[in-house]
Chains A and B, each alone.
Chain A
Amino acid sequence: MNELLGTIDKPNVVESSCFLEGKEVTTSSFTKANRHYETVARQTFSYIFLNVGKHKSKHNEAHLEIGDKRLSGFLLKANRVLVCLSEKETNISDVRAHIQQVQHLIAKAEVERMLA
């Protein structure tokens, strides 16, 4: 998983990333300096996707712009979210495109994790 986060983190697109299981962080590349953003991401995305589920909505990504940063959460499956931290000015389309590019690696890692 840590290797996967190394692939997800990409200069000028994704600064740090982590996986959430409910409100818990399972793997993270957030630095100590960015740990507050990780905490905000945990609270935000667990709340948003819980609400999305309650309303039977099909939204599977959420983006929160706070200060100079943006937190993007991609719902991988129920209760499991990939979080990416970017600069506010980073184009969301670039973040999306990058996550789509590494989607197969994420899927593979998820299967391996379940089998482990």
Chain B
Amino acid sequence: MKDYKILFTGSVCSGKTTAIRSVSDIETLDTDAQASDVTVRRKKNTTIVMDYGVLDLNTETRVHLYGTPGQERFRFMWDMLTSEFAHDAIGMVLLVDNTRKDPFRDIRFYAKAFGDYLRKRRLIIAVTHSDVEPNPDYNRYLSELKDLGVMSTVMFVDARDPRAILGVIEELISAVERDIDWDQVRDRLLDINGFSLDFYKPLYEETLLDAAMNKRGVLGAMHIGEGQDLLCSNIDDASIKSLLLNINRLTDAISEKASFLGAVNNVVIAGPKVDTLSVFNDQNQSLCLKSDKDISLPVLKQQAGDLLQWSIDNDYLA
């Protein structure tokens, strides 16, 4: 029996678990937990350790499919997968969610995070959710990847469709295995696993402010868009609102004047008997929070980062 391994990675909700599940011959090993952060806006569960599935291509050839957790805070699992379980994988599939506000940012991030790993193996970029958001299109991906210097095949796939995911696997395996009857595998998978659009139902329900208010310790929130445009707020106290807006203007000014030091990620002001006020920046938008003074700043920072990750989608998702 010849065994091959493929590692699937990508951001939260990019479809890693779904992709592996759609082609696996075994009941996949999912290590999901209820999402505690903004992923709840997109789905209720998130992978915390890894996904694992197996696909038999014929009686002599088998592919082991490993999926990483999406969140960077589970980075230790990325290291474990690349150095142990999937250290000898034939290639890596980077699933890119096309509804993300900047999918190329994800590509840059994962290409860097898995840079050493990718030196010895092929990378396939599998773009998902293009049925929801068709842009950027295929040509734009090719052009951006060329600019980024990333050598990769780009495929637009539906992670729920076993035929699409099998196509990705074929792209990697067919270079070394010439005797696989891919049509037969495809038919078999459709018979066994089928293709149902109910496989994955995204939950696009909460607005950014709702999501923020559901976070531990958050007492108020304000969303500021490009050009200091106040998009929405539920902070009533005029004084606090003005203070936060001024701090946000300050972060813009510093980012502009001291860009060589890097971006201003956040500003937090605190005190012993007052609510903590913070401004978190992400590209052209900011999330201002009023929170309980007892919430630790690393927790606050993580929550804000996760919230901002999806916020551009907010208007059309709401």
Which residues of A come within 8 Å of B, CB atoms?
Answer: 36-37, 39-40, 43-44, 47-48, 51-52, 55-69, 88, 91-93
Specify the main secondary structure of chain B where it touches its partner: mixed
In the complex the two chains form, is B243's CB within 8 Å of A51's CB?
A: yes
Distance (whole angstroms) from the CB of B256 to the closest CB of chain A: 12
Residue in B closest to A91 when the chains form the complex, CB atoms: B298
Tell me, in angstroms, the Cα distance from A88 to B272 when the chains sit together: 23
In the complex the two chains form, is B298's CB within 8 Å of A44's CB?
A: no
Question: Contacts A58-B273, A64-B254, A68-B262 given; 17 further ones with Cβ under 8 A?
Answer: A39-B258, A44-B250, A48-B247, A48-B267, A51-B243, A52-B243, A57-B243, A59-B269, A59-B270, A62-B270, A63-B266, A64-B251, A64-B264, A65-B264, A66-B264, A66-B265, A88-B265
In the complex the two chains form, is A55's CB within 8 Å of B242's CB?
A: yes
Interface positions of B from 290 to 305, Cβ below 8 Å from A: 296-298
- 26 residue pairs of the A-B complex, CB under 8 angstroms, read A36-B258, A36-B260, A37-B261, A40-B258, A40-B261, A43-B254, A48-B250, A48-B267, A48-B269, A55-B243, A59-B269, A60-B271, A61-B269, A61-B270, A62-B269, A62-B270, A63-B266, A64-B264, A64-B266, A65-B264, A65-B267, A66-B258, A66-B261, A67-B261, A88-B265, A91-B298
Residues of A within 8 A of B264 (CB): 64-66
In the complex the two chains form, is B265's CB within 8 Å of A65's CB?
A: yes
Q: Is B268 an interface residue (CB 8 A)?
A: yes
Residues of B within 8 A of A39 (CB): 258
In the complex the two chains form, is A36's CB within 8 Å of B273's CB?
A: no
Q: Is B246 an interface residue (CB 8 A)?
A: yes
Q: Is B13 an interface residue (CB 8 A)?
A: no
In the complex the two chains form, is A58's CB within 8 Å of B260's CB?
A: no
Residues of B within 8 A of A51 (CB): 243, 246-247
Residue in B closest to A73 when the chains form the complex, CB atoms: B269
Q: A59-B277, A66-B261 are in contact. Are A92 and B247 (CB under 8 A)?
A: no
Residues of B within 8 A of A59 (CB): 269-271, 274, 277
What is the total number of residues of chain B having a CB less than 8 Å from a CB of chain A?
29
Residues of A within 8 A of B273 (CB): 58
Residue in B closest to A61 when the chains form the complex, CB atoms: B270
In the complex the two chains form, is B261's CB within 8 Å of A58's CB?
A: no
In the complex the two chains form, is A92's CB within 8 Å of B261's CB?
A: no
Report, nearest first, the 8 A-B pairs whose CB atoms are least far apart. A67-B262, A65-B265, A59-B271, A59-B269, A62-B269, A63-B268, A58-B274, A55-B239
Residue in B closest to A36 when the chains form the complex, CB atoms: B261
Tell me, in angstroms, the Cα distance from A72 to B242 when the chains sit together: 22
Distance (whole angstroms) from the CB of B246 to the closest CB of chain A: 5
In the complex the two chains form, is A44's CB within 8 Å of B254's CB?
A: yes
Tell me, in angstroms, the Cα distance from A71 to B175 when the chains sit together: 52
Distance (whole angstroms) from the CB of A52 to the closest CB of chain B: 7
Q: Is B263 an interface residue (CB 8 A)?
A: yes
Tell me, in angstroms, the Cα distance from A58 to B264 when the chains sit together: 24
Residue in A closest to B266 when the chains form the complex, CB atoms: A65
Distance (whole angstroms) from the CB of B313 to the closest CB of chain A: 25
Tell me, in angstroms, the Cα distance from A32 to B187 when the chains sit together: 67
Tell me, in angstroms, the Cα distance from A44 to B252 when the chains sit together: 11
Interface positions of B from 183 to 236, Cβ below 8 Å from A: none
Residues of A within 8 A of B269 (CB): 48, 52, 59, 61-63
Residues of B within 8 A of A52 (CB): 243, 269
In the complex the two chains form, is B271's CB within 8 Å of A58's CB?
A: yes
In the complex the two chains form, is B270's CB within 8 Å of A69's CB?
A: no
Residues of A within 8 A of B258 (CB): 36, 39-40, 66
Residues of A within 8 A of B266 (CB): 63-65
In the complex the two chains form, is B274's CB within 8 Å of A66's CB?
A: no
Distance (whole angstroms) from the CB of B262 to the closest CB of chain A: 2
Residues of A within 8 A of B254 (CB): 40, 43-44, 64, 66
Distance (whole angstroms) from the CB of B243 to the closest CB of chain A: 5
In the complex the two chains form, is B271's CB within 8 Å of A66's CB?
A: no
